[in-house]
Structure 1
Amino acid sequence: MSDEGFRIVSAHDTLFADVEAVFGTRGDPAHCWCQWYKIPGSEWRLTDDELRDRLAEQVAEPATNAGLVAYDGQTPVGWCAIEPRSHLPRLRTKRIVRDGSRRPDLDDPGVWALTCFVVPREHRRRGVAAALAAGAVEHARANGARIVEGYAIDPAVRAKVPAADLFVGTVSMFAGAGFVEVARPTPARAVMEIVLAE
């Protein structure tokens, strides 16, 4: 897959070292490793290394469809988490999903969630996340998704959004990938959806 000049690759089909290069060793990505929605809060006691190892196991297993890596040439420049919503138990407790999703069956394997973007600081403001969002739609479609949801933040409503809060993506970025807003559970958070098949 390619968009905006970036090459988008399933994490299963690339080196985990490239995923590690995107997540880095500092900041929220290096302390979460896209496990936040996968581990119930009562079990959130793993070390950074254990979280990294869990992601490594997930991307090694093709059936998990854990995420995508964006490349600029040979350089890994971004990551997004895209997989069936049923793989993400913590989403069950999130107000934005509970109050905003038009798809209440959280066990439906045809509903996928685009939950997280990681773009290292030196690669930001170049369209990496937008390319990943578009690539995630195609990846989900190719793997049998009927619906993809995102839980975006709206910087136009919430002034001075810290970079750490943008990991969910923005309303405009999702809209650019073909998503439409279907709910606004809070003033600054929107449920975005794209229907791939009914």
Structure 2
Amino acid sequence: MPAITTLPATAERWDDVQHALSGGGDGRSCQCAWFTLTNAEFDHTSVDERRDLLHGEVQADPPPGLVAYVDGEAAGWVRAGPRTIQRRIARTRAIITSTPQPLDDDSVWAITCFVARKEHRGLGLNAALLRAAVDLARDHGARVIEAYPVDTSIGHVPPNDLYHGALSTFLAAGFTETAVTKPGRPLVALEL
């Protein structure tokens, strides 16, 4: 079994962030900006502009996420941070009506996006990234972590929809299902 490690996505690891995002799915074009921008903003930004936005985020504290490494190679990514920074959440009706947490509370964090390079899928990257994201949130004063995963037990889920993470991964990490935002899409939470 390969060695999996995780590290914060900092400016020094920028090339690793880009490598992790470029290995399959929409990571390369999205640059993990989907949850930080409104629909209109996302539609009117180029990949280069989204990359610049993410580059600015990795220079801040806390970092916007973590990078997973398999035997030293950047292999995966997770976005984790205060929910208030991920502005799309406060504009998503299904989440607004399902969360019991105040939308303006900086102590509520959200884990919203996973990327695993194709050649490293099936190794447990998302579980390792999730554990590290919980630690990151705890270390930065989060009170609650929310996520909006996909329930893969209900049938086939296209690979590009799995960027939300799988419900089973969150449940195994101690999250509880608190609401269903729409069929197959629960809201899960972990109190810290």
Tell me which interval the TM-score lies in, with the shorter structure as reference length: over 0.9
In structure 2, C-alpha distance between the alignment counterparts of 1:38 and 1:185, rounded to whole Å: 20
Shift of the alpha carbon at 1:73?
Answer: 2.5
In structure 2, C-alpha distance between the alignment counterparts of 1:125 and 1:14, rounded to whole Å: 27
Q: How does 1:84-99 map to 2 (within 5 A)?
A: 84-99=82-97
In structure 2, C-alpha distance between the alignment counterparts of 1:28 and 1:72, rounded to whole Å: 21
> Which of 72, 76, 79 pairs up with 2:77?
79
Give percent identity, aligned residues only: 36
Preserved contact between residue 11 and residue 55 of structure 2 (Cα < 8 Å): no
Please give the per-residue CA displacement for 1:23-44, whole angstroms capped at 9, x wherever unaligned.
1176411111111111111222
> Which of 27, 30, 41 pairs up with 2:28?
30
Are 1:124 and 2:121 an aligned pair? yes
- Are the structure 2 counterparts of residues 79 and 25 from structure 1 closer, same or farther at C-alpha, using a change threshold of 3 Å? closer
In structure 2, C-alpha distance between the alignment counterparts of 1:156 and 1:108, rounded to whole Å: 32
SS in 1 for 2:78: strand
- Are the structure 2 counterparts of residues 176 and 5 from structure 1 closer, same or farther at C-alpha, using a change threshold of 3 Å? farther
Please give the per-residue CA displacement for 1:9-62, whole angstroms capped at 9, x wherever unaligned.
110264200011011176411111111111111222111111111101101112
What does residue 61 of structure 2 align with?
62
Are 1:163 and 2:159 an aligned pair? yes
Preserved contact between residue 23 and residue 118 of structure 2 (Cα < 8 Å): no
SS in 2 for 1:152: coil
SS in 2 for 1:9: strand
In structure 2, C-alpha distance between the alignment counterparts of 1:124 and 1:26, rounded to whole Å: 10
In structure 1, C-alpha distance between the alignment counterparts of 2:25 and 2:166, rounded to whole Å: 20
What RMSD, in angstroms, separates the aligned Cα atoms of the two structures?
Answer: 1.5
Preserved contact between residue 96 and residue 189 of structure 1 (Cα < 8 Å): no
What does residue 101 of structure 1 align with?
99
Superposed structure 1 runs of 4+ greater than 3 Å apart: none
TM-score by length of 1: 0.91
Are 1:147 and 2:180 an aligned pair? no
Query: How many pairs were matched up?
Result: 190
What does residue 9 of structure 1 align with?
7
In structure 1, C-alpha distance between the alignment counterparts of 2:94 and 2:147, rounded to whole Å: 10
Preserved contact between residue 153 and residue 171 of structure 1 (Cα < 8 Å): yes
Preserved contact between residue 127 and residue 169 of structure 2 (Cα < 8 Å): yes
Preserved contact between residue 114 and residue 149 of structure 1 (Cα < 8 Å): yes
> Which of 179, 182, 189 pairs up with 2:178?
182
Listed as ranges, the gaps of 5+ residues in structure 1 are none
Shift of the alpha carbon at 1:187?
Answer: 1.9
Preserved contact between residue 147 and residue 188 of structure 2 (Cα < 8 Å): yes
In structure 2, C-alpha distance between the alignment counterparts of 1:27 and 1:114, rounded to whole Å: 18
Please give the per-residue CA displacement for 1:55-101, whole angstroms capped at 9, x wherever unaligned.
011011124x3000011221111100000001011111213311221
What does residue 45 of structure 2 align with?
46
Preserved contact between residue 183 and residue 191 of structure 1 (Cα < 8 Å): yes
